[in-house]
Amino acid sequence: MISVVLLGAGNVATHLFKAFNKAENVDVVQWYNRTKASISSYVNKVEITDELNELRTADIYIIAISDDSIGKLSENLPFKNRLVAHTSGSVNIHDLDKKNERAVFYPLQTFSKDAKVDFSQVPICYQALEKSNNKLLKTLAKAIGSPSYKINTEQRQTLHLSAVFINNFVNQLYRIAHEITDNKNIEFDILKPLISETAKKVQNISPYMAQTGPAKRNDKKTINRHLNQLENRDHQKIYKLLTESIQQTHGLKNKNE
C-alpha cells in the first residue's frame, strides 16, 4: 500500500484524488490546501487540513498547485528527507527544496474539474533524483491504470511545450470556429464529427501525412475567399500564418508568392 498526502485543490489534484481513492493499493492519508473550503466536500472521504504543521507521514507528498507556487510550498514543508513530487510539465525538478527527496509525477492530459478522466488514457511522466524512488513512482502510476514513462526534465518540458500546441492552441482554434459559426447562426455541433475524425487520423498516420485542405493543395482561390469571409482581422492573421506554415512544411510557399 502506497500512502499519499496530496497538496493542492485544483483540477489536477482533484482528479488525482479521485483516481487514488479508487485504487486498491493507494491510500490518500491526507489532503492539504491552504483554504479548507476548497476541499471541504471531500471531508467524509479523506482527512483534510489547511495547516502544514499537521501533515501526516506518508510514502509520497504530491504537490499539485500552480507552477509559480511549487518552490515556495516545498520550502515551507515542515519535514526533511521525505519523497516530494510535483505534477507540473514545465517546472524543473530542482525547483523543489533539496531538504527532501525530489521527484516529478506529471500526468500529461488536459483536466477540467467537472469532466470525467479515464486514467488509462493519461500517460504519467515520472522522474526522481534518487533512482530508488523510480519504482514507487512507476507503481503509483500503474495503480491508477496509467501508462508511465521515465523521462528527464528537458524531455518533460519539451512534451509540455508540444502539448500547448496540441491542446491549448488547437482549443483556441475550436473557439474561433465556434465564434464564426455562431455569427452565422450555424450549430457548432455539425463540426464535431470532423474534430473527432481529425484526432483519430493521427493515431494511425503522421500529422504530416494527415494534412489536407486548401493550403496543402495551394488552392489560392479558396484561400482568398476564406480571407474575405473573415470579418475579424485577428482571425485573418491567424489564417494567413497557419496557411503559410502549412505551405512551407509541404514545399508550397514559393508557389504562393
**pLDDT tens-digit map of 179-219:** 999 999 999 999 999 999 999 999 999 999 999 999 999 99
- What is the value of pTM for the model shown? 0.85
Amino acid 221: pLDDT? 96
Q: How many CB atoms lie within 10 A of CB 96?
A: 24
Which band of pLDDT confidence, cut at 50, 70 and 90, is reported for residue 254? low
48: CB partners within 8 A, 6+ apart = 30, 31, 32, 33, 36, 39, 40, 42
Domains of the chain: 2-151 (3.40.50.720), 157-256 (1.10.1040.20)
Q: How many CB atoms lie within 10 A of CB 223?
A: 19
CA dihedral 180, 186, 190, 196 (to 10 degrees): 20
pLDDT: which is higher, 6 or 255:
6
Grid coordinates belonging to 61: 507528498
Question: Would the CA dihedral through 228, 233, 235, 237 be positive or negative?
Answer: positive
Grid coordinates belonging to 211: 494534412
Measure the CA–CA gap between 107 and 64, rounded to whole angstroms. Answer: 10
Residue 255 above 70 pLDDT?
Answer: no
Find the helix packing angle between 233-249 and 170-183, rounded to 10°.
130
Residue 256 above 70 pLDDT?
Answer: no
Residue 48 above 90 pLDDT?
Answer: yes
pLDDT in tens, 49-71: 999 999 999 999 999 999 999 99
pLDDT in tens, 214-239: 999 999 999 999 999 999 999 999 99
Amino acid 257: pLDDT? 47
Amino acid 114: pLDDT? 75
Q: How many CB atoms lie within 10 A of CB 250?
A: 14
pLDDT in tens, 100-147: 999 999 999 988 877 888 999 999 999 999 999 999 999 999 999 999
Amino acid 253: pLDDT? 62
Measure the CA–CA gap between 90 and 158, rounded to whole angstroms. Answer: 8
pLDDT in tens, 9-44: 999 999 999 999 999 999 999 999 999 899 999 999
Amino acid 117: pLDDT? 86
CB 33 within 8 A of CB 7: yes
pLDDT in tens, 137-167: 999 999 999 999 999 999 999 999 999 999 9
Which band of pLDDT confidence, cut at 50, 70 and 90, is reported for residue 251? confident
Give me the chain's average pLDDT, please: 94
